[in-house]
Amino acid sequence: MNSSEEIAVAGMSAGRSALRMGPAELVQAAAMARRFYLEGKSKIQIAEEFGVSRFKVARVLETALERDLVRIEIRVPAELDAERSDALRARYGLRHAVVVESPAEGDDESPDPENLGEVAADLLGELVTEGDVLGLAWGRSTIHMAAALDRLPPCTVVQLTGVYDAGTAERGSVEAVRRAAQVSGGEAHPIYAPMLLPDPATAAALRSQTGIARAFEYFDKVTVACVSIGSWEPGISTVHDMLSDAERAHYASLGVAAEMSAHLFDTEGRRVGRDLGERCITVEADRLRRIPEVVAIAGGQRKAAAIGAVLRSGLVTSLVTDRAAADYLLTESSPGTHPALDRKDPDGS
């Protein structure tokens, strides 16, 4: 994840502009540059060694850069796109934006690329500190992320949503919580319940059960959360796939464009169909907004508009995505503000 820097310190064969310097100047500049860039010595240390002022050292180093005596090359792993990452971070006010290469051309029908989860796992290793409470919501990308974890400081891990199907808990979000806790050596608080229930009464009854209630008690303590994003279409939104045809049509009529942790959003990031939350086992949007760091993992052209909608909601602070989605997000209409930085609810409620 960390970028590496390659510093080339030229000698007498420096570029044409550097040859305007005399041989003694060239040799001294090369030596100072080697001390500063390759050996990590301070300007004061270099000044003492060469018997000059630190201001002289600073001028020599500046001249070495201007005249091509020193060349600095910033390299990041090939799968990371630093330019798009920085542009996306600035456009939405994100704390962190990491853009990775997209799947092979023509593979738009696939779910989130698995390499998103791998990169997100590395990012989580940077963001989580000892004593944090890590929250994981249901999603294919968060499951891939948990599977790729190989380092994590000691922390408590709590599940933020029920599962797509209680029968798949062992290979779903419950297993993701267990895996993260195993890597960190901390406590795990899974939720053994479906995400969507038939009615509000059933959902309320489940929330009061001891194990689920204990997990919910940790929601206000979560410091870092990982979530997935779905667009409102089959196979791309877990909630969409769990509803009946009539229910899908109803929520579509409300203008739903995206789904995250069983919360629905229109294209402007406003929440719609809030009644659905009464039937769901999930972290409330208000609680999610109070979590200091919320990392969304989602990519692909089919999810691009949905990612933009959720970014406008102000619920997400960081994003791991791919080039296909990033290109859409960088060319769509401007969000106007920095929603990830402001953390404001677009509809003010």
pLDDT at 138 (0 to 100): 85
pLDDT at 216 (0 to 100): 94
Would you say 230 and 198 are in contact if contact means Cβ atoms under 8 Å apart?
no
DSSP state of 130: T
**pLDDT tens per residue, range 242-266:** 888 898 899 999 999 999 999 999 9
**pLDDT tens per residue, range 201-237:** 999 999 999 989 999 999 999 999 999 998 888 777 7
Other C-beta atoms closer than 10 Å to the C-beta of 164 total 20
Residue 238 predicted with pLDDT over 80: no
DSSP string of 233-284, one letter each residue:
STTT-HHHHHS-HHHHHHHHHTT--EEETTEEE-TTS-EE-GGGGGGB-B--
Distance of CA 243 to the CA centre of its chain: 29
Would you say 99 and 78 are in contact if contact means Cβ atoms under 8 Å apart?
no
pLDDT at 13 (0 to 100): 41
**pLDDT tens per residue, range 104-119:** 654 455 556 768 888 9
Residue 315 predicted with pLDDT over 90: yes
Tell me the three state secondary structure of residue 296. strand
Tell me the three state secondary structure of residue 176. helix
**Residue 78 backbone zone (phi > 0: left; psi -120 to 50: alpha; other: beta):** alpha
What's the token pair of residue 12? 């007498």
Q: What is the mean pLDDT of the chain?
A: 85
pLDDT band at residue 78, thresholds of 50, 70 and 90?
low
CA distance 254 to 242: 18
Residue 170 predicted with pLDDT over 90: no
pTM of the prediction?
A: 0.76
pLDDT at 8 (0 to 100): 55
